[in-house]
Structure 1
Amino acid sequence: MSQRDTAATDTPSDTLSVAALTAMVVGSMVGAGVFTLPQRFASQTGVLGAVIAWVVAGAGMLMLGFVFQSLAVRKPQLDNGVYVYAKTGFGVYPGFLSAFGYWASSCAGNTFYWVLITSTLKPLVPAFGDGDTLLAVAVSSAGIWGFYLLIMRGVKEAAGINAVVTAAKMIPLLVFVVVAIVALKPDVFVENITGGYDEVGGDSLFDQVQGTMLVTVFVFLGIEGASVYSRYARKREDVGRATVLGFLSVLALFGTVSIISYGILPKAELATLRQPSVGSVLEAAVGPWGAWFISAGLIVSVLGAFLAWSLMAAEVLFAAAKDRDLPAFLAKSTAKGVPSNALLLSTLFIQLLLVVVLFASGALDFMLDLTAALSLIPFALAAGYALKIAVTRDGYAGLPGRIRTRELVVAAIAVVYTLFLIWAAGPVFLLFACILLAPGTLLYAFARREQNGRVFTTPGWIVFALVVVGALAGLVGLATGAISI
């Protein structure tokens, strides 16, 4: 269990209400992803495939939401759930992989955000290109360090700003939904229903749905937001309530945005729109002002999500260091409760990824998919832990059997769903994840040495060996051109 930061969390004034925790969840999920949905979905499937994809993703992610809710109630002594659930359930090194994977996912997502911001501003500043030019990276770098200074003022202040931004960024998306419904063309919508699976040489409906899975994971990242900030909740039950409330809100929004777009333009045109494609769809419906209106909303939305993700990424490193599973220097915090060194390391890693963007082709889509793939590690381990305690009846003493049965079924579905996502992601992104996790294990080794503890148990050595093999395979693939960024 993480020790509480007495400077930041022991007083009532430093707790967050259900509304504030829900805003953290919504603010974390409603970021850049929703603005890319029309093009990403149309490039893979039609209306029917999109509906099936949202049903599958919605059901699976809802089960994950219920997993975080039940874990918050069954294991109230465990703070910072994304990390500590994996550690408690499966050991120190798997816990480290969960923490590091979640942190790296957040950093990759934040890199994606800044690439999308600068590419969105390309009509105003052509030198930004697709967000991968020297000027774009320089501006993005200035932005990430500006946010670093903002968050250093205090976690509570940053969380308050996030709540305001969350409310403000919903306006352009709601306007888009209303306008698109009014402008919807029934004949165009009908033509887009099959997505080509009934045509000779077209992808099967299953393949179409599979192709959307990583983007649905990306847009739902943040469902764990309230769990990450469990140590700020007034009551443990508030964590679960905020998770489910936030999820249901954004599921309705995401599904509506992607599906009604099929009634504005043919699928072939939707699939070739430049990002943010929500702006391009609105432009097709109402004219140029639609694109500018959405672009402004995207920038506000992305900046708010960047803030939330920066907070959560630093919080995970901080908690792991407090548990002595990462080097002690990452456990340092300011008088206002800001995990300063963890935040600094996060910002430095994002800076490194921005430099990589200069040498990558298709950096925007790659960062999106890498973000989603890395997040699967902590999600799968948290679901596995929920299944484990339900099977062993750990935390269910004195409760009716139907409660344990219900949560057992929920956890089992969540495990199957996360394993399906790992399979759908494909081997390429798993190899890239290993390339990041293998050298990152040095932080774990340093922490174990600080404690004069054994670095790996026998199962730990086996897991580490698999990670190293995956990293080597990924590096060989990059060197030979078999895989590419």
Structure 2
Amino acid sequence: MTSDSPQKLSLFALTAMVVGSMIGAGIFSLPRTFGNATGPFGAIIAWCIAGTGMYMLARVFQSLAERKPELDAGVFAYAKAGFGDYPGFLSAFGYWIGSCIGNVSYWVLIKSTLGLFFPVFGDGNTIVAIIVASVGIWIFHFTILRGVQQAAFINTVVTVAKIVPIITFILILIVMFKADMFSVNFWGGVGMPESRIFDQVRATMLVTVFVFLGIEGASNYSRYATKRSDVGTATILGFIGVTALMVLVSLLPYSVMARADIAALGQPSMAGVLEAVVGHWGAIFISVGVIISVLGAYLAWSLVCAEVLFIAARNEDMPKVFATENPNRVPAAALWLTNSVVQLFVISTYWSRDAFALMLSLTSAMSLIPYLFVAAYGVTLARRGETYEIKPQERQRDLIIAGVAAVYTLFMIAAGGLKFVLLSALLYAPGTLLYFWARREQRKAVFNTSVDWLIFAAAAIGCIAALIGLASGYITI
């Protein structure tokens, strides 16, 4: 999809973009992920924190869509407008590389799903699984190159198809709800290690970020909206609907299985839960839903990744080669780089102990930097009073909302731990080579301010520390 396309998206289509972007791999993994970390009490606290923080972030997206309609290039446009060229690049790069890693998690989950029935796929990171995933990557790649551009229509159809098994799962577990089992599990259950409630909640933080990724789905395609106000409305509607589904999917399993049994399930753990309740057909039913959901999400996010590089290049944040299109009006160079990166990360999963968890957490860590820039830009506008000339009474409210979103995002970065901060730097620092390339093409100074130099120095030091950590075994994947 390109900026020259005449296609316009309705409120329903934009909402489907948000829902479709958010419901991918993460929701099907929630039972085991939460079961490993905490019981229902900790889960409720975690969702209250995540829900509040992400709601505030959604409100910031809504506000910026209305106050800055000219910034229609997606998430990273706000970083560039508020903080300069290099932060704008980092936001674009972080969003793009995080989305690429998210696409890797999709392939890992597909193969681990098949591993429930065909042991040769294991947990999604065996040699056979990597080969099959690699074939899938390039089948999608060459299909998209031929002109599969109607992401909104495809996404709407797939969104409906993948919500059906999730709703079915929720309804069955509501019918089978056992209050005594839920009560036993509530404070942490039996057969699980003792840990403070703070540590339990912290252990869930990156997964809550991962499952909320895509909340900006409407913003990414804001220039195609029939009405600009629909972008903010779609963001809030999608957020509310998906949050309700995720809370139910993570909490209801505690009412039918012991927490220790939930924690021991393979991924996708939603399939294991339903199998325990209704028999083997439940695992098959959810597994089919997983594959439909993940393949649909993979197609949508492949287009998003290419779109991010394409628009960033048009805005001179990336080398101009990525602003080129093939005769089918597909950003071919951007797509080639995207899928090459996805391929490299898929190969790297062979050396990972838990490839899905690693890709999930790393995707979340990379995406938090762009989100932080969005929240900070919201704070900046409100503090300056910019765009508040007509309704100045909204300024204080928006300052509080954006401030809470910024604090939440910083808390998420800290909660993820030093490991993922360093792994993020391992990607950000060499990724800056693309920025050097773009600036050289434009005959501009690489860094304009001392702050740019400080940011780059921090990324470089973090990159070196990550390499030392990996070599010494301090950081494991």
Q: TM-score range by the shorter chain?
A: over 0.9
Is the counterpart of residue 228 in structure 1 residue 231 in structure 2?
A: no
Counterpart among 216, 233, 236 of residue 241 in structure 1: 233
Match of 1:136 among 129, 134, 139: 129
Cα distance, 1:241 vs structure 2: 0.9
Q: Which segment is superposed worse, 218-227 or 143-152?
A: 143-152
Could you say which residue in structure 1 is the equivalent of 2:427? Answer: 436
CA shift, 1:200, in A, is 12
Q: 2:186 matched to 1:193?
A: yes
Which of residues 369, 372, 376 in structure 2 aligns to 1:380? 372
- For the residues of structure 2 that align with 1:63 and 1:254, how far apart are their CA atoms? 18
In the TM superposition, what are the counterparts of 1:303-318 in structure 2 within 5 Å? 303-318=295-310
Contact 2:20–2:155 (Cα < 8 Å) also in 1? yes
How far the C-alpha of 1:184 sits from its partner, in A, is 1.4
1:269-325: CA deviations, max 9, x gaps?
Answer: 111111111111111111111011100100001111111211211111111100111
Question: Given that residues 189 and 258 in structure 2 are in contact (C-alpha distance below 8 angstroms), is that contact kept between their aligned partners in structure 1?
Answer: no
* 2:281 paired with 1:289: yes
> Counterparts in 2 of 1:9-88, with a 5 A limit?
11=6, 14-88=7-81
Match of 1:7 in 2: 4
Percent of pairs identical after alignment?
A: 53
Q: What is residue 443 of structure 2 aligned with on the other side?
A: 452
Q: Letter of the aligned partner of 1:247 in structure 2?
A: F
The residue aligned with 1:405 is 396
CA distance in 2, matches of 1:241, 1:336: 32
CA 261–451 in structure 1, closer or farther in 2 if over 3 Å, else same: same
Comparing 209-218 and 310-319, the one that deviates more = 310-319
Distance (Å, rounded) in 2 between the aligned partners of 1:334 and 1:250: 36
Distance in 1 separating the partners of 2:152 and 2:146: 11
Is this contact kept in 2: 1:72–1:239, CA < 8 A? yes
- Partners of 2:148 and 2:235 in 1: how far apart? 20
Q: How far off is 1:404 after superposition?
A: 1.5
1:158 & 1:412 partners in 2: Cα distance?
33
- 2:405 corresponds to 1:414: yes
- Secondary structure of the residue aligned to 1:397 is coil
Contact 1:196/1:203 (8 A) holds in 2: no
**Deviation string, structure 1 residues 215-255 (Cα, Å, up to 9, x no partner):** 00000100011111112112221111111111100000000
Q: Which amino acid aligns with 1:56?
A: I
Which of the numbers 162, 178, 189 marks the counterpart of 1:169?
Answer: 162
- Rounded to whole Å, the distance in 1 between the matches of 2:224 and 2:277 is 44
The runs of 5 or more residues in structure 2 that have no matched partner are: none
- In structure 1, how many angstroms separate the alpha carbons of the residues matched to 2:221 and 2:385? 26
Q: Does 1:119 align with 2:112?
A: yes
C-alpha distance in 2, partners of 1:114/1:208?
Answer: 28
| Pairs aligned (count) | 476
CA distance in structure 1 between the aligned counterparts of 2:101 and 2:117, rounded to whole angstroms: 26
C-alpha deviation, 1:5, in angstroms: 5.0
Name the SS of the counterpart of 2:115 in structure 1: coil
- Mapped pair 1:202 → 2:199: no
Hey, what's the Cα distance between the residues in 1 that align with 2:15 and 2:284?
29
On the 8 A contact 1:65/1:223 being kept in 2, the answer is yes
Match of 2:361?
369
Q: Deviations over 1:179-213 (max 9, x none)?
A: 1111111111000111169x997212122111111
Write the deviation string for residues 318-366 of structure 1: whole angstroms up to 9, x where unpaired. Answer: 1110011110000112455422211111111001111111222211111
Alpha carbons 1:44, 1:209 under 8 Å: kept: yes
Question: What is the distance in 2 between the residues matched to 1:388 and 1:141?
Answer: 43
Matching residue's letter, 1:281: V
Match among 84, 96, 108 for residue 103 of structure 1: 96
TM-score normalized with structure 1 length: 0.95
Separation of aligned partners in 2, 1:28 and 1:22: 10
Residue pair 2:123, 2:267 contacting (<8 A) in 1 also: no
* CA gap 1:146/1:200 in 2 versus in 1, 3 angstroms: closer
TM-score normalised over the length of structure 2: 0.97
